[in-house]
Structure 1
Amino acid sequence: MELHQLMEYSPIETTTFGPLDKYVAANDNVLGAKSVALNHLVASCPVSQDNGQYIGLTRNRPAEPPRTGDFMQTYTGRQYWPMDPRPHEVYIEDIAHSLSLQCRYAGHVKKFYCPTPDQRVLTDDLRWVPAGDLKVGDGLLAFDEEPSRVGGFGKNRRRLKPASVTIAQAEKRRTIRLVMSDGSDVVSSDEHPWLVATKVSGNQKWLTAGAIADDLRLGRKRHMHKFFEPWAARSGREAGWLAGIYDGEGYLSIKNRRGTQLGVAQKPGVVLSEIERLLKNFGYSNYRYAQTGNAGSGVISLQSQGGFATIAHLLGSLQPIRLVSKFVNSLRSGEFDKQLQSDGVPLEIVAAYDEGEQWVAGLETSSHTYFCEGFGAHNCVAEHSVLIARYLAAKHAPEVALAGLLHDAPEAYCVDIPRPLKPYLTNYRAIEQDNWLAIAARFDLPKELPRAVHDADNRIIADELVNLRDMPWHAKHDRPLGVKLRYWSPEEAELEFLATFDALMAGRAA
């Protein structure tokens, strides 16, 4: 990336990094999996200013006097003493990785992940709606983000629950298509988490589409449960007639955790025969006969079999108004309380394809979960620093922009403390300043941040308001920089941070 390109957005380039010489990244146990590039290490290890010796990739240093405090292990596997920092122990890779994983704001930042607009999401009234058509406030059928135990026994389980859409906006993202063993597929942004089983019978966990693609490249098998087979709303005279019969003669019995029953009652005759014929034609032949009412009434009930997935399919495709309304009310009131079923054999993810950058539907839900195409779907300081650096690069010398890129770098070692707390944590401020001095010396930056950096750091809050919950204090921020938030994943933010660093170092050298 050239210096003049810093203000231009370009798709993220995918690079396969090799393992570090003599070091194993602290958070990576797989060789070659998202490790730090060797060329970045060489670029960030210049000749020492004091003795002219190369600061290389070795721990064979002369004995040093005792250090203050204890050391921390950095991302690249090195030792760093935050209470006694030294410039030669500062590495841009550690800074980029740490800042990419830190939240810019504590507690009220929004987050969302993105299926493509045509991918269907299940609503609380059992319709499959394209993600691009969803609006804020729309109700969804969702599930627990993490499993929990109900009662004093049994395993931790996820349960179905109501949710609502809290963010719905179009974004451009790099996308990945995951293909299942049955031929079905899902397309989402690279950072979109999916509920994945590591083994056919194993527990489920959240993995991003990008991480799944990496696992497949490394030969690891991954599986996903298809909790629902998406359905389309049926139309026509026969579907309308059957929906009317269910509304008039049908019932939906919701017995909390004991199960849900759907059926339709009728005496033997032409009407019952027609009900059976249409159920079979529409693919709902899995039902049983049950006696309804008194033994002598002669009324027969056709009870749907196959669990809640079958019941949801029938209700959702026919849309009998009374029964669907009863389900929605039961879901929202908490009367409907059912475990997320994953008893069947999950589908193997057989392939992952990079579909390039395209428009996606940025969604956040109140539960942070939803069903997308039948599968379970989930809904950073580094990006903040990159945006400030690129803004400054267009108006100031590369050195000022580099200071902007690294202005929050001490947080890589001291973590980010919310701004209202910092004035009261005097020791933290002193420690943060000591770490800044080590970072500044490492990259030959001034001990005091330029005024332009402070100004940009304050003004970018006005740009970031779109990513925050509405709060009264926003009113005082009315001078935005005019930068566009990218909502990068941690992996994307880390790569962009390193690319911006390289460009600014090259620009300063020139």
Structure 2
Amino acid sequence: LGSGTRVLTADLRWVPIEDIQVGDQLVAVDEKPPGGAGPARKMRSATVLARQEMYAEAYRVTFDTGESIIGTGEHPFLCKKRSTHDYQWRTILDIQVGDEIRCVTKPWGDTTVEDSWFGGFLDGEGSLRARQSGGADVCVSQVAGAVLEHAASYLKSGNYNFHTEVDNRVPEHSSKFGKRPVYKLVVQRMDDMFQLLGRTQPIRFGGNKWWEGKELPNGKLCAKVVSIKPLLVLKVHNLQTTTGTFIAEGLVSHNTAICRSLSAHRLTTVPGVRVLAGSVDEDKVMELYTRDKTILDNLPWWLKPEIKYDEKGAHIHFGKLSSKVLYQVGSQKSGVGQGRQFDVIHLTECASWP
């Protein structure tokens, strides 16, 4: 993804992708729905395992909101299927105008004085609950008066979805609110909770990963693609996370080709290297091949190796280096990698192999 792309961290800050470091904690989602078809993807936390920078041809994807994101053609996003209501990973090269990309929330701006005030209010009178039955909510409690009115006004002006509950019970023991009814302002929508807690940054909820194991936000949040335009070769950034996913500009984003980049580095710098790249089917194998070609095509001239043989989706042989990469499908009858020795092996989608 392009420089300046904002990534959502686990402490609910938007950090430029070029500033993300190995070991950082991010908000993420399941790469695949648990158990295959049926159960929904869940929200997760992820750790950054690796990062890389490279120069590659990029594209600007613009949405119906007027916002946009820059990425390479091989970068995948979680998109709504064109024929059903399910979702699938689709690269920018495969995305078409009219496609919808799944969102988790919308990026927010700098913290204001009012945000800080509400954050302090949450520290004093707030509560955060992640329900075992699913969902979560953040609440503030207060008796009727100017403070309650100001808090409600803040939520309204920020376009947060909330409702008010009232507790008329007389406390059995003394309470700081006395015997007056206590009102509770409740925010339950996950996208609103990300916004509210990210903007206000209350100290008391620091480190609480309340989204963990929850379904993606309701409301079918999606960004509709209105244009895809090629750009010049730009500096782009790859991340590898423990879940294989992260949130970029509010969009559900997949890992990119960092494993392929590491493989390409060995192939182009060490003579006699044998690499095996395998996946579940021909389409996935072609993705690996395409990523390798993108990396090789964008190497500086002094690092580009001489290619002796190049059979699409099958193998690439580097003449002077005597290195080669083979691409194989997991279902092939001869067995993946059988009868050969390899220095580097990269297998993907292993859970779906026959």
Residue 200 of structure 1: how far off its partner (Å): 7.6
The structure whose residues are more often strand, as a share, is 2
**Residue in 2 that maps onto 1:302:** 185
Tell me the distance in 2 between the aligned counterparts of 1:224 and 1:135.
26
Q: How many residue pairs end up in the alignment?
A: 291
SS at match of 2:124: helix
**Residue in 1 that maps onto 2:158:** 282
Aligned positions of 1:35-434 closer than 5 A: 115-149=1-35, 155-199=38-82, 202-212=85-95, 215=96, 221-236=98-113, 238-284=114-160, 286-292=161-167, 294-295=169-170, 296-305=179-188, 307-325=189-207, 327-328=208-209, 330=210, 336-341=212-217, 343-344=219-220, 346-379=222-255, 403-404=319-320, 408=324, 417=337, 428=339
Tell me the distance in 1 between the aligned counterparts of 2:75 and 2:145.
52
TM-score normalized with structure 1 length: 0.50
5+ residue gaps, structure 1: 1-114, 418-424, 433-456, 469-510
Structure 2 vs 1, CA of residues 184 and 415 (structure 1 numbering), >3 Å: closer, same or farther? farther
Residue 416 of structure 1: how far off its partner (Å): 6.4
Give the greater-gyration-radius structure (CA): 1
Aligned positions of 1:485-500 closer than 5 A: none
Asked whether the equivalents of residues 305 and 321 of structure 2 are also in contact (C-alpha less than 8 Å), the reply is no
Query: Could you give the per-residue CA deviations for residues 254-279 of structure 1, whole angstroms, max 9, x where no partner exists?
Result: 11343211110011112212222222
Asked whether the equivalents of residues 290 and 302 of structure 1 are also in contact (C-alpha less than 8 Å), the reply is yes
Residue 231 of structure 1: how far off its partner (Å): 1.1
SS at match of 2:94: helix
Tell me the distance in 1 between the aligned counterparts of 2:168 and 2:204.
21
SS at match of 2:32: coil
Asked whether the equivalents of residues 173 and 190 of structure 1 are also in contact (C-alpha less than 8 Å), the reply is no
Asked whether the equivalents of residues 256 and 337 of structure 1 are also in contact (C-alpha less than 8 Å), the reply is no
SS at match of 1:258: coil
Structure 2 vs 1, CA of residues 304 and 407 (structure 1 numbering), >3 Å: closer, same or farther? closer
Structure 2 vs 1, CA of residues 371 and 382 (structure 1 numbering), >3 Å: closer, same or farther? closer
SS at match of 1:135: coil
Asked whether the equivalents of residues 33 and 40 of structure 2 are also in contact (C-alpha less than 8 Å), the reply is yes
- 2:32 is matched by which residue type in structure 1? E
Residue 323 of structure 1: how far off its partner (Å): 2.2
Structure 2 vs 1, CA of residues 143 and 383 (structure 1 numbering), >3 Å: closer, same or farther? same
SS at match of 1:227: coil
Residue 282 of structure 1: how far off its partner (Å): 3.1
Tell me the distance in 2 between the aligned counterparts of 1:129 and 1:410.
38
Structure 2 vs 1, CA of residues 144 and 266 (structure 1 numbering), >3 Å: closer, same or farther? same
- 1:353 is matched by which residue type in structure 2? K
Structure 2 vs 1, CA of residues 415 and 323 (structure 1 numbering), >3 Å: closer, same or farther? same
Structure 2 vs 1, CA of residues 299 and 178 (structure 1 numbering), >3 Å: closer, same or farther? same
Asked whether the equivalents of residues 257 and 337 of structure 1 are also in contact (C-alpha less than 8 Å), the reply is no
The structure whose residues are more often helix, as a share, is 1
Tell me the distance in 2 between the aligned counterparts of 1:323 and 1:308.
15
- 1:362 is matched by which residue type in structure 2? N
Aligned positions of 1:445-464 closer than 5 A: none
Tell me the distance in 2 between the aligned counterparts of 1:386 and 1:301.
62
Query: Could you give the per-residue CA deviations for residues 292-318 of structure 1, whole angstroms, max 9, x where no partner exists?
Result: 47355411111124x111111111111
Asked whether the equivalents of residues 233 and 316 of structure 1 are also in contact (C-alpha less than 8 Å), the reply is no
**Residue in 2 that maps onto 1:496:** none
Query: Could you give the per-residue CA deviations for residues 93-150 of structure 1, whole angstroms, max 9, x where no partner exists?
Result: xxxxxxxxxxxxxxxxxxxxxx112011111111111111111111111010001249
Tell me the distance in 2 between the aligned counterparts of 1:231 and 1:316.
8
Structure 2 vs 1, CA of residues 139 and 409 (structure 1 numbering), >3 Å: closer, same or farther? closer
- 2:181 is matched by which residue type in structure 1? G
Tell me the distance in 2 between the aligned counterparts of 1:371 and 1:402.
37
SS at match of 1:146: coil
TM-score normalized with structure 2 length: 0.70
Asked whether the equivalents of residues 385 and 406 of structure 1 are also in contact (C-alpha less than 8 Å), the reply is no
Structure 2 vs 1, CA of residues 256 and 232 (structure 1 numbering), >3 Å: closer, same or farther? farther
Structure 2 vs 1, CA of residues 391 and 411 (structure 1 numbering), >3 Å: closer, same or farther? farther
